Structure 1
Amino acid sequence: MKKVLKAVSVLVLVTLLFCCSGDDNNAPINNPDPDPVPNPTDATTTLINTLSVPWELLWGPDNFLWVTERNGRISRINPDTGEQQVVITLNNVAQQQESGLLGMALHPDFINTPRVYVVYTYLSGNNLLERLVQFTYSNNTLSNETTLIDQIPANRIHNGSRLLITPEGHLYMSTGDAGNTSLSQNSNSLAGKILRINLDGSIPTDNPIAGSTVYSLGHRNPQGLAIQPGGRIYSSEHGPDTDDEINIISVGANYGWQEVRGLIDTPAEESFAATTPVTESIMNWTPTIAPSDLVYYTSDRIPQWTNKLVMTVLKDRKIVALTLSNDGTMVTQEESFFEDAFGRIRDIAVSPTGRVFIATNGDSYGDTSNTHRIIEINRLN
């Protein structure tokens, strides 16, 4: 394992990285130490506190944190020093309330194929729309923007936008109903769906609707996607005034919105489900808590979370750990951590060695100040 480099070495090697990284990228990546020993006296460490609504937080294959901010900025952040390196600022991003620069994913073979997938909202006339694009990373810059999916309905609210790349090479994207509840049950609309494409932007031949990116429907505003080692995909989803949800995402499944909230337990929901098969959620919260990002934590670095779904929460300002049944189809226990410790918690990133980082979004809904944080969780109290 590499030692933490001193300042001069860091500057020299980072310069070499930026000059040499590209599509052919034969030079070694300069990585900060990926597995330092946490300070045993500090349960958490603030890495940076000058961000403006960080939305996506990822641990990159280059051993840097990658972050999107809703104002259009994408950065690499050194996970040991907090040094921020802006790789692009998108000027065509429309940030209105919950919209802006949102989800991001990195190509799994990033060293050889340095592609970055990004979701953002933009204006077409007076209308907000959303698109999924791909960039190429080289010389500490993102360039060569290529649109993969365009003209997704968007709004000031309910834009979904979480991305997940699975081991078999599919890119999943969540979309919200864009404030138009009728779109979620419309298979011709891309709103209120989980979409699925290949990493080159083509449509998989085994998608449920031939020639369509739609993988599942009946979603309201899913903002978390996570995969279990066995391949099962979970989603966390915002409900209205009731029934925030955890769902298991299956090909062609219908999750019921707007006709069904959570479980099928009212006469109207039973009537709808009698003619339209609906996949029920495996966990619900009423009153709502505003679930955001979701990961499946496999490390023993934080043993209380090992082999559990770990979820960030906005309205209730905490982290939730969910224990699953042996077959992964039921939630058997819910635990809460860091309640009201950091304000609204938007996102979570985990390194290959189990280091955990979270992105916060201020103390209240709509807070767009430049004081949002990335915090490392070293241990649980």
Structure 2
Amino acid sequence: MKRKVIGAALTAVLLLLAACTQSPPAEEEGREEEHREEKTDSSYQVLAEQLRTPWSIDLDGDTIYISEREGNIVQIKDGTLSRQSVHTEKPVAHQGEGGFLGFALAPDFQDSGKAFAYHTYDQDGKVMNRLVLLKQEGNQWTESQVFLERIPGSNVHNGGRLAIGPDEMLYVTTGDSGEGELAQNQESLAGKILRLTLDGKIPGDNPTAGSYVYTLGHRNSQGLAWNSDGELYSSEHGPSGTPGGHDEINEITAGNNYGWPEIIGDEQQEGMKTPLYHSSETAIAPSGIAFDEEDYMYVATLRGQKLYRFRPEDASLEAVLEGEGRLRDVKVHDGKTYVITNNTDGRGVPSDQDDRLLVLK
């Protein structure tokens, strides 16, 4: 049975959970917190420590792979952590919110050793993003093919989430690169969700012939996930400054326009889609999202510093993990929920153990 999140009810619950705060311009992920409570939590197990600004999680069986923004891939196998180098034709530019971001193993990874990656780079003094195919060779990864280049980027709003859908297509989120008008420009790859075949081509059934663009009007989406009915959802950062907050959860349908920067929150305009849920003026900065086997959605938040679970059947929102600082990504795999902290990204307050990979008990 399809489950829907009722936006207004979720907003009311969130306002009870968090005080209304506004984020500074161009820093919607949140300001550095003054302190973070150190505690021992029996609700999770620590699988890895001292990760370097991790961004994305993927798994091959029991082997875990994590991208790090400075340009590495961490492999955790049989309890052993190895940091593997990544060699791209154009160097990774780890600056601002950019760097080595999205990472997704190919469906045939066990045979091919291939994975998809999204990273920031410098092109003639301009910040751009690229989508490439990598191949694992021993303890290193080497670029084997370029899918897309010159995706607009900047110190903020690079998007970067990669996910392979039940249709065996590759989905990519891109940010508006700090220029909101690009999100409405059909000719620009900024502020979009893109859809490609696994060999980098434009699918014949994309909404616009000859275009990678699947949906438009996004500010800075960093989460993609499908429920058991094959419905696609995304998370998205809302505006900075005044008004702030208005972070979103959207149900994604091919060809839709999600409104940025023309509308936010409950505002309406013909031809534009309002979010399924928004956080009103409370900034939580949602990043990675994932569905569990019961179709509850988990949302890792940066500014909110909590892992939330949406319960669609009674339209409630529950914090299932908090007190660990900023959270960047979440993955549900074989009944286990994995989450990475992101306290070393320059906006958090890291402990000596950060960043960490946790698995909930």
Instruction: Tell me the TM-score range normalised by the shorter chain.
Output: 0.7 to 0.9
Mapped to 2, the partners of 1:181 and 1:99 lie a distance apart of 18
Which of 343, 358, 361 matches 1:362? 343
Residue 44 of structure 1 contacts residue 375 of structure 1 at CA under 8 Å; is this kept in 2? Answer: no
Q: Which residue of 2 aligns with 1:334?
A: 317
Partner of 1:223, secondary structure, is strand
Aligned: 1:292 with 2:273: no
Q: Distance in 2 between matches of 1:83 and 1:105?
A: 19
2:174 and 2:189 in contact (8 A); partners too: yes
Which whole-Å CA distance do the structure 2 matches of 1:102 and 1:185 have between them?
24
Shift of 1:45: 1.8
The answer as to whether partners of 2:235 and 2:288 remain within 8 angstroms in 1 is yes
- Displacement of 1:144 after TM fit? 4.1
2:84 corresponds to: 86
- State how far apart, in whole Å, the 1-side matches of 2:360 and 2:174 are: 33
Name the residue aligned to 2:256.
Answer: 253
- Counterpart CA distance in 2 for 1:84 and 1:138 is 14
Which secondary structure state, in structure 2, belongs to the residue aligned with residue 158 of structure 1? coil
**Secondary structure of the residue that 2:187 maps to in structure 1?**
coil
Shift of 1:355: 1.9
- Report the AA paired with residue 263 of structure 1: D
Residue 182 of structure 2 aligns to a residue in which SS? helix
Residues 164 and 290 of structure 1: is their aligned pair in 2 closer, same or farther, counting only changes over 3 Å? same
Partner-residue secondary structure (3-state), 2:175: coil
Matched with 1:186 is 185
Q: Which runs of 5+ in 2 are unaligned?
A: 1-40
1:107-146 correspondence to structure 2 within 5 Å: 107-146=106-145
CA contact (8 A) 1:343 1:364 kept: no
SS in 2 for 1:50: coil
Contact 1:42 1:378 in 2 (8 A): no
Residue identity over aligned pairs, in percent, reads: 36
The structure whose Rg is larger is 1
Offset, 1:87: 4.7
The TM-score with structure 2 as length reference comes to 0.82
Instruction: Quote the residue 1:350 is aligned against.
Output: 332
Give the corresponding residue for 1:279: 273
Counting only pairs closer than 5 Å after superposition, residues 95-106 of structure 1 correspond to structure 2 as 95-106=94-105
Closer, same or farther: CA 101–144 of 1 in aligned 2, 3 Å: closer
Residues 249-258 or 159-168, more deviating? 159-168
Aligned equivalents of 2:197, 2:47: Cα separation in 1: 34
* Alignment partners' CA distance in 2, 1:354 and 1:85: 26
User: What letter is aligned with 1:350?
Assistant: V
- Residues 1:86 and 1:363: Cα distance change in structure 2 (over 3 Å): closer
> Is residue 2:295 matched to residue 1:313?
no
AA matched with 2:206? N
Q: What is the distance in 1 between the residues matched to 2:357 and 2:154?
A: 30
1:262 deviates by 2.5
Gap runs ≥5 in structure 1 = 1-40, 265-269, 299-305, 326-330
Deviations 1:185-228 (A, max 9, x none): 00000000000000000100111111110000000000000011
The runs of at least 4 consecutive aligned structure 1 residues that moved more than 6 Å come to none
- SS of 1:112's equivalent in the other structure is helix
Distance in 2, Cα, partners of 1:364 & 1:203 = 34
Shift in Å at residue 58 of structure 1? 1.3
2:360 corresponds to 1:372 = no
Give yes or no for contact 2:195–2:212 (8 Å, CA) kept in 1: yes
Give the match's secondary structure for 1:111. Answer: helix
- Partner AA of 2:254 in structure 1: V
Counterparts of 1:368 and 1:336, CA distance in 2: 20
Map 1:150-299 to 2 at 5 A.
150-240=149-239, 241-264=244-267, 270=268, 273-274=269-270, 277-286=271-280, 287-298=282-293
Match of 2:19 in 1: none
Q: In 2 relative to 1, CA 126–85 (structure 1 residues): closer, same or farther, beyond 3 Å? A: closer
Q: State the number of aligned residues.
A: 314
Q: State the TM-score, normalized to the length of structure 1.
A: 0.78
- Shift of residue 376 of structure 1? 2.7
| Alpha-carbon shift at residue 96 of structure 1 (Å) | 1.0
CA distance in 2: counterparts of 1:144 and 1:156, whole angstroms: 24
How many angstroms does 1:367 deviate by?
4.8
Q: Which amino acid aligns with 1:83?
A: L
Moved more, 105-114 or 164-173: 105-114
* Alpha-carbon separation, structure 2, partners of 1:124 and 1:367: 29
RMSD, matched Cα: 2.0
Equivalent residues of 2:161, 2:222 under 8 A apart: yes
Aligned residue number for residue 58 of structure 2: 58
The code of the aligned residue for 1:95 comes to H
Conservation of the 8 A alpha-carbon contact between 1:236 and 1:245: yes
CA change 1:184–1:144 in 2 (3 A) is closer
| Superposition pairs of residues 44-55 of structure 1, within 5 angstroms | 44-55=44-55
CA distance in 1 between partners of 2:360 and 2:283 (Å): 28
Pick which of 142-151 and 241-250 moved more. 142-151
